[in-house]
Chains A and B, each alone.
Chain A
């Protein structure tokens, strides 16, 4: 026997839902809310994840950052800044040259910088050319330091896009002299705009000068505050981290069993921690989704039970004039599925709408994953079938004689 054509089932189902419009809307609301919440949260989650990923990949997954830490050896519990690193430490780390792509010693501080037109506070960093490689910074114009400038600690500088903007209104800057904490300094390069990155401060609000000149004229000491260590592609960063730690413990005479008075930050680990956080979030979201969809499904089951009870006599008539029990089952299921899918679609729209609204607040991109949309539709359909089944089976099992006289 041929099945009843789909439109012959769907049209009456839609008509029946329309007749009880308010009741249908209320029934679908549960699913709509559940789906909306999930779609919104997943979409927002995707957006912020993408943003974090972008920031991390901008910094590079192969990056280690070595910093001086707290020294606990001094007094009882007294926390004092541990002794700084020196250029000798840098040379020692550079000993791992076959594993490392770049080792950039840096020292930096927030310093007032002044041009003829304006003055502004920027992050001023003393570094050498490896710094640009380690941070993947590129020049928009000009050049990087010459070997001679680095050796001699010349007063030259490379400025970020924000500083370029503030001090020169974005105009010609190369060859101009700016004052960095009263030290005159020639601009030899302008960095390409990096854009806002949430992990570090504004990367564009920066001035870079040779480390030696920064140490001598601005810091007044020969300290190296940190090292950016770029591990070669294909070499395990965790392994390199332990080797650097071992080396530094030895050089800084940290005895066995004593806390390190420095630390090495591993970018990959940071990224994985964030991914882990988002996995926890996903699990939590799934739980919320399951609960709201369960509630929505029960709502649909309720409405369909009421609808079947209302239409008992009519179903009896249909059975008496030749409807097969499975055709009645299909009709009621179709209505439940239609209701659930309508709720699901409304939920998808509302969820994307919420995510779009949140985009403005959270400054994240709007990324609608087609998979979540398909999943929402599939889940809604499944809910319609699962929770529509009990009412549908009840309708199909009605005894026509009894049902028909129930008017």
Chain B
């Protein structure tokens, strides 16, 4: 496991261990259901991702990619094993503790965008700040700036159904970025988009990674998307296949 990129900004969070890797999974198991119907989505995963990596997660459908993202994004907890985020054992956090971790350090981008339908692009983007009690004026300013950064200055007051798929995904990315997270997680962010628009979204993510040093973990079925990552993790049946480190070189 070689660290490839180390140009990320310094950790901002108190209590976090700056020298620890951003993400560290030790024998992580996630099983759904119980008894005979039990499904093991993650079957003992060991993995480290360091600050500043751009990781592509690939693998067949049902192999556990989304489950993996949910766990590293503190949306879900392992059935057994240990997950450390910034050196903090997330097993020690309660529901609110995990929500605090998400709001301060993690941004999510979903395949189906998951925007709030009746709210304008601006309102959607500033939502994470609202829950952090940032005053309205400041919220607006940040949201406007982030929307501009994803190239949507002209669409601030449009609601999701007045926007194209690519534009909606840009709003979702802006929403994920407004809190300046250490980790950006994207589950098939281009899956619902045509290839041209998908390529644009990938450009945007890569630019972010380059300019801000944000760690990016992205699930994709598209080999051309995966090839742009600094590292590729391949899931099969809840296991990680041994990695090919030489793939890292293909990043440009």
Which A residues are closer than 8 A to B by beta carbons? 1-5, 8, 19, 313-314, 317-327, 400-401, 404, 407
Contacts and interface: CB of A to CB of B under 8 A. Distances in A.
Interface string B119-132: 00000000110111
B131 A317 contact: no
A317 B100 contact: no
B47 to A, nearest CB: 20
A321 B96 contact: no
Given A400-B75, A401-B70, A322 B103 contact: yes
B110 interface: yes
Contacts of A318: 116, 127, 131
A325 B93 CA distance: 14
A13 B100 CA distance: 23
A400 B179 CA distance: 19
B127 A326 contact: no
A2 B134 CA distance: 9
Contacts of A327: 131
Contacts of A4: 130-131, 133
Nearest to A404: B114
Nearest to A323: B131
B76 interface: yes
B115 to A, nearest CB: 8
B133 A321 contact: no
A321 B102 contact: yes
Contacts of B206: none
Contacts of A313: 114
Q: How large is the interface on B (under 10, 10 to 19, 20 to 34, 35 or more residues)?
A: 20 to 34
Contact of B133 (A3, A19, A320, A400): A3
Interface in B115-159: 115-118, 127-128, 130-133, 135-136
Nearest to A19: B118
A322 B128 contact: yes
B175 interface: yes
A322 B103 CA distance: 4
10 contacts: A317-B115, A318-B131, A320-B102, A320-B108, A320-B114, A321-B102, A322-B132, A323-B99, A325-B96, A404-B110
Nearest to A2: B133
Contacts of B114: 313, 317, 320, 404
A116 B78 CA distance: 109
A102 B179 CA distance: 88
Given A319-B99, A322-B103, A322-B179, 6 more contacts: A317-B116, A318-B131, A321-B102, A321-B128, A323-B99, A324-B131
Contacts of A323: 99, 103, 131
B95 interface: yes
A402 to B, nearest CB: 10
A325 B150 CA distance: 30
A141 to B, nearest CB: 73
A19 B119 CA distance: 12
A321 B128 CA distance: 6
Contact of A322 (B76, B99, B116): B99
A147 to B, nearest CB: 87
B112 interface: yes
Contacts of B116: 314, 317-318
Contact of B76 (A324, A325, A326, A401): A401
Interface in B72-123: 73, 75-76, 95-96, 99-100, 102-104, 108, 110, 112, 114-118
Nearest to B71: A401
B130 A324 contact: no
A85 to B, nearest CB: 84
Contact of B175 (A321, A324, A326): A321
A79 B117 CA distance: 86
B192 to A, nearest CB: 13
A322 B131 contact: yes
Given A4-B130, A4-B133, A322 B102 contact: yes
Contacts of B76: 401
A321 B108 contact: yes
A321 B101 CA distance: 10
Nearest to B66: A401
B131 A401 contact: no
A313 B73 CA distance: 18
Contacts of B176: 321
A401 B99 contact: no
Contacts of A326: 96
Nearest to A321: B128
Nearest to A8: B130
A327 B100 CA distance: 12
A169 to B, nearest CB: 74
